[in-house]
Amino acid sequence: MVKAKWRLALAVLFGTGAIILLSKVSLQGSTTFTREEYGHAGHGIQLRNLKQPFNWHEDQEWAEGGGGGGGGPPGTGGQHNETTHEISTCRNSVQGKMIIADDKGFVCHRNDVLQSGCCHENATSSRRYSCDGCSESSGCCKVYEHCISCCMDPKRKPVLMNVLNEANALKNILLLSVSDHFELCLAKCRTSSSSVHHENVYINPMDNFCFSKGPAAHSEEKS
């Protein structure tokens, strides 16, 4: 009887120890950031290491062709009539009912999205770095997909670098988790609070999507 009790006690002891050991190993394996890097940013979120290079969108083909950062003549929204020289795939904004923005900076009608996920560059609906309905001064747009397309323009890099610096200072988990230009534009345009003041009132009711820090509330209010 005594031996049976000892066996039961030892089994419970070893079982408890094994559970604790496995829990520690699991927690160590799932850690994706350190306090020194991100403070108390959160748990279970895979954040980008601040020392890790950020992948910026660079439009070398257009720059060599004289398009510069704007992606096309003023007022055209960056319309591109050249043929694509190589087959590639694209990530895109997915959810738009009418229009889609891809990770090359194009925005187009949903029907003009290729199987690759890219906008058909020669389609009449396709525009690159389109800022239609966007305010240059505030960095806010009326349409989510146009916000993404405008945000993807390489000339927006200085503005977006400020956004990342602010996200780091504020420990913004969502923006710290992005790894490249397109992911940043997707997140910033969707979640921006730059276009509101008093947390829930839009400064300009029509400009709901912002890729920059946005205007000061007092400068945009109208009586």
Q: Is residue 15 part of a domain?
A: no
Q: Which domain holds residue 154?
A: 60-220
Q: Is residue 4 part of a domain?
A: no
In total, the chain counts a number of residues equal to 223
Helix count and strand count (H, E) for the chain: 8, 8
Indicate the pTM of the whole model.
0.61
Q: Is residue 2 part of a domain?
A: no
Q: Is residue 179 part of a domain?
A: yes
CA distance 26 to 37: 21
pLDDT, one tens digit for every residue, the chain (223 residues)? 656 666 666 665 666 666 555 544 343 433 333 333 333 333 344 555 555 677 888 875 544 444 433 444 333 444 444 444 556 899 999 988 999 999 999 999 999 999 999 999 999 999 999 999 999 888 999 999 999 999 999 999 999 999 999 988 988 888 888 989 999 999 999 865 554 444 444 455 566 899 987 544 433 444 3
CB 98 within 8 A of CB 84: no
Q: Is residue 140 part of a domain?
A: yes
Q: Is residue 183 part of a domain?
A: yes
Q: Is the dihedral angle over the CA atoms 64, 104, 145, 157 positive or is it negative? A: negative
Q: Is residue 93 part of a domain?
A: yes
**What is the tally of structural domains in the chain?**
1
